[in-house]
């Protein structure tokens, strides 16, 4: 069961069966039984790529129609209220408290496990008290809950993106988060074959023409390093290419988020930027899902 599904990055990782950066990420034994997202354009992208129904609308309107059962509940609930680049409103932010809807779903369905994703800002001083409350709310009777701060570049994603994952297991020991894979993919490795390609709308290889602006708007990728965090903002805050005199394209941003090239975006530029930037990198999600699969298989034996 998938809450706050966005365009499907987390769900694609849980399903597997995709290729990225020369690696095949095998099909995992997880199937989607229920998904929800509020943004219509993101739902359209989800349906096209995941080939599964998704309920569009406010989560409060759809929670009364939960599935009869689910083994796993996942969710990347909205994070802007505690993001370093956001409002830092924490518990006063109307979006971030939506994590409680995920708690409600877990309490109702009693899944074998749940996986919640959010920003590093929860661990910083402005978000820490709220984070402690969140952990307490997720610590439901019968569950062992822990969290880990992941750097996506440690797991085959060509991006230095730090995110917290909270994992709860029904009964038993704490979840053992996967270890880094030992190879860091650089921006150049991920994007080199697109350098000489002209704008190609058919594959979303189009880019913002916004001129350089102060601070965030002047960031340039470094060829020999992973990209800086791909954000959900648009035009003037999109990173500049490490070598070319332009900002990175939508397809390049999707690559830096570890979306396979077969993943299609049909929205306009701003909405697509939002979908890509808000997504959980599928490759990172796959590593977490695969480790969860291994744990559940072992427990079943």
Least confident span in 79-83, 146-150, 152-156, 203-207: 79-83
Domain segments of the chain as ranges:
2-181+281-300, 187-276
What is the pLDDT at residue 221? 97
* CATH class of domain segment(s) 2-181+281-300: alpha beta
pTM: 0.94
Segment 207-235, tens digit of pLDDT: 999 888 777 778 999 999 999 999 987 77
Residue scoring higher pLDDT (213 or 241) = 241
For residue 228 the two structure tokens come to 């800086």
Plot region of 229 (φ>0 → left; ψ -120 to 50 → alpha; else → beta): beta
CB 96 within 8 Å of CB 127: no
What is the pLDDT at residue 82? 54
Just list the catalytic residues: 79
Residue scoring higher pLDDT (122 or 103) = 103
Fold of 187-276: DNA Methylase; Chain A, domain 2 (3.90.120)
Q: pLDDT-derived band of residue 88, with 50, 70 and 90 as boundaries?
A: very low
């Amino acid at each position: 069961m998938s809450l706050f599904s966005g365009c499907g990055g987390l769900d694609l990782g849980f399903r597997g069966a995709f290729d990225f950066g020369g690696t095949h990420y095998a099909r995992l034994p997880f199937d989607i039984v229920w998904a929800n997202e509020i943004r219509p354009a993101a739902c359209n992208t989800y349906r096209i790529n995941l080939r599964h129904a998704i309920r569009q609308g406010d989560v409060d309107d759809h929670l009364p129609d939960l599935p009869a059962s689910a083994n796993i509940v996942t969710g990347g609930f909205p994070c802007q209220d505690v993001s370093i680049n956001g409002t830092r409103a924490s518990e006063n932010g109307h979006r971030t408290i939506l994590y409680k809807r995920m708690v409600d779903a877990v309490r109702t369905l009693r899944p074998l496990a749940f996986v919640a994703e959010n920003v590093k800002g929860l661990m910083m001083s402005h978000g820490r008290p709220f984070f402690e409350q969140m952990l307490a709310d997720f610590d439901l009777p019968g569950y062992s809950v822990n969290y880990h701060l992941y750097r996506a570049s440690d797991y085959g994603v060509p991006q230095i993106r730090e995110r917290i994952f909270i994992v709860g297991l029904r009964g038993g020991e704490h979840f053992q988060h996967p270890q880094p894979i030992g190879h860091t993919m650089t921006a150049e490795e991920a994007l080199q074959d697109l350098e000489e390609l002209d704008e190609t709308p058919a594959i979303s290889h189009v880019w913002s023409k916004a001129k350089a602006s102060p601070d965030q708007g002047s960031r340039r990728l470094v060829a020999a390093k992973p990209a800086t965090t791909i954000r959900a903002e648009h035009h003037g805050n999109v990173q500049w290419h490490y070598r070319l005199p332009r900002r990175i394209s939508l397809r390049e941003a999707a690559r830096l988020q570890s979306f396979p090239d077969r993943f299609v975006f049909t929205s306009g530029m701003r909405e697509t930027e939002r979908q890509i930037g808000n997504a959980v990198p599928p490759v990172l999600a796959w590593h977490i899902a695969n480790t969860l699969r291994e744990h559940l298989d072992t427990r079943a034996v």
